[in-house]
Amino acid sequence: MTVSVKFESVTKILGQSKAVDNLTLNIGGGELFFLLGPSGCGKTTALRLVAGFYSPDEGRILFNDKDQSRVAPHKRNTGMVFQNYALWPHMNVWDNVAYGLKMRRVSEGEKKKRVRHALEIVHMQAYAERMPNQLSGGQQQRIALARALVIEPDVVLLDEPLSNLDAKLRIEMRTQIKDIHRKIGRTMIYVTHDQAEALSMADRIAVMRRGRLVQAGTPHELYTRPESAFVAEFIGGTNLIRGTLEEIGELLTVRTEAGLVYAKNGVKGIARGASVFCSVRPESLRLTSAAKSSGQPPSGANNELLAEVQSIMYLGDNEQYSLRLADNAMVRAVEYNQPSRKAQVGERLTLQFDTHAVVVLPEEELGD
């Protein structure tokens, strides 16, 4: 049976500030759930509230609708993987992994079977006798995972488990952790500041900012239908073009200083005349030569804006363009797998983008 985790209006004060501020979340049983946000957004505090290292100042934490808020951490049956792994340096791999079972007074035979099985899951059977300092970072990470899994926890908690690994290993471990999640089918809560990690692994993601929940949803929902400029910017990166909402019809019409922008999608409830951001992903911008452009706002599915190329960065499989719009605002565009360069620095051209690639968002202050 899987265990669901519920945050009910949870507030936690650390020092003078609200590290977690009125957080409500429902994490389904068996989900691989991500808490995502910049450093200091409260995601680790939220995780430690689930583990029981903090108890909420307001609100409740429930496992399967049972209140856990005042349950001591050693009685919660969560398995946590710490950011720096926290392997005990005075015990070998086997003893590290067996510790939780010892605390649970599991019989000797059962213990052996389960430790061996846990080491198998993380492909570390051969290292049982090693001391932690004889292991590489990636190996330590896997032992930390095995140690958390072996107790068959109700909830597996992962606190930036991959942040200390090099880039290549990090990508490899993403697949492995996903596989393990599929195999054991337990609820996992995973904290990270790496949006690519979250997008590629999560069943669902909660984006946090300044202790508050900003938006929760599947990776696809968050990427295609962000509800705030912060989410659009934090997940995938975007261009935010400032303007005023002029008309609400089949398309939303936004007057910007660079020209009119038409959008298919927008956050509900924005009034006419409100200040807004038009969010357009860099990969949605197409560079076309200025000559072909009519210079007039098109009536069809396309937006067109004039721009001048400021700089180009070549990255192998793609090229990134920095462009200056008519009102001097900067935007970024990406071109993938181009056989030849589309434009030169200083060239004036037209940016085309579909109306369904634009999301109209309420204006807000950005940064953490």
Partner 1 sequence: MTNWLRRYDLNAANAAVLLFLWLFFIVFMLYPLAYVFSNAFFTDSGFTLVFMKLMFSSPNNTIILANSVNLGLAVTLLTTVLSLPLAFLLVRYNFRGKGLLNGLILIPMVLPPFVGAIGMRQLLARFGSVNLLLLEMGVISQPIDWLGGGSFWGVVILEALHLYPIMYLNLAAALANVDPSLEEAAKNMGANSFRLFSTVTFPLMLPGYFAGAIIVFIWAFTDLGTPLVFEYREVIAVQIFNMVTDLHQNPMGYAFVVAVIALTLFFFYLSKRILGGGRYEMLGRGHVSSAARPASPTMTVIAYAVVLGISALALIPHLGVLLTSVTQRWFLTVLPTDYTFQFYKDVFSHDLALLSIKNSLLLSSLSTIIDVVLGVTIAYLLARKRVPGRSVLDALAMLPLALPGLVLAFGYVAAFSATPLDARINPVPLLVIAYAVRRLPYMVRAAYAGFQQTSVALEEAAINLGATPMKALFQITMPLVFANLIAGAVLAFSFAMLEVSDSLILASKESYYPITKAIYALLGRIADGPYIASAMGMLGLLLLAASLFIAGRFFGRRMGELFRA
The rounded distance, in Å, linking the Cα atoms of 13 and 25 is 18
Report in angstroms how near the CB of residue 309 gets to partner 1 at its nearest.
36
- Looking at the Cβ atoms of 100 and 259, the one nearer to partner 1 is 100
User: In this structure, are residues 132 and 143 in contact, taking their beta carbons and an 8 Å threshold?
Assistant: yes
Report in angstroms how near the CB of residue 52 gets to partner 1 at its nearest.
8
**Residue 13 found at the interface with partner 1 (CB under 8 A):** yes
Which of the stretches 17-25, 83-91, 216-224, 238-246 binds partner 1 when contact is defined by CB under 8 A? 83-91
Report in angstroms how near the CB of residue 113 gets to partner 1 at its nearest.
18
Report in angstroms how near the CB of residue 96 gets to partner 1 at its nearest.
9
The rounded distance, in Å, linking the Cα atoms of 346 and 129 is 63
**Residue 17 found at the interface with partner 1 (CB under 8 A):** no
- Looking at the Cβ atoms of 162 and 285, the one nearer to partner 1 is 162
Out of 73, 137, 138, 297, name the contact with partner 1 by CB under 8 A.
73
- Looking at the Cβ atoms of 102 and 123, the one nearer to partner 1 is 102
Out of 30, 56, 100, 259, name the contact with partner 1 by CB under 8 A.
100
- Looking at the Cβ atoms of 100 and 266, the one nearer to partner 1 is 100
**Residue 99 found at the interface with partner 1 (CB under 8 A):** yes
- Looking at the Cβ atoms of 15 and 339, the one nearer to partner 1 is 15
**Residue 74 found at the interface with partner 1 (CB under 8 A):** yes
**Residue 168 found at the interface with partner 1 (CB under 8 A):** no
Report in angstroms how near the CB of residue 201 gets to partner 1 at its nearest.
22
Upper half-sphere CA count for residue 97 (Cβ side, 13 Å): 32
Interacting residues with partner 1 between 25 and 64 (CB under 8 A): 51, 53, 57
The rounded distance, in Å, linking the Cα atoms of 309 and 331 is 10
- Looking at the Cβ atoms of 89 and 367, the one nearer to partner 1 is 89
Report in angstroms how near the CB of residue 208 gets to partner 1 at its nearest.
22
Interacting residues with partner 1 between 251 and 310 (CB under 8 A): none
Report in angstroms how near the CB of residue 62 gets to partner 1 at its nearest.
19
CA proximity to 304, closest of 340, 358, 265? 358
The rounded distance, in Å, linking the Cα atoms of 224 and 317 is 23
Out of 65, 89, 250, 337, name the contact with partner 1 by CB under 8 A.
89
Report in angstroms how near the CB of residue 63 gets to partner 1 at its nearest.
15
**Residue 90 found at the interface with partner 1 (CB under 8 A):** yes
**Residue 164 found at the interface with partner 1 (CB under 8 A):** no
Report in angstroms how near the CB of residue 39 gets to partner 1 at its nearest.
16
User: In this structure, are residues 193 and 39 in contact, taking their beta carbons and an 8 Å threshold?
Assistant: yes
CA proximity to 120, closest of 77, 180, 208, 164? 180
x/- letters, 132..161, toward partner 1 (CB under 8 A): ---------------xx--x-----x----
Residues near partner 1 (CB under 8 A) are 13, 15, 51, 53, 57, 73-75, 77-80, 82-84, 86-90, 99-100, 103-104, 147-148, 151, 157
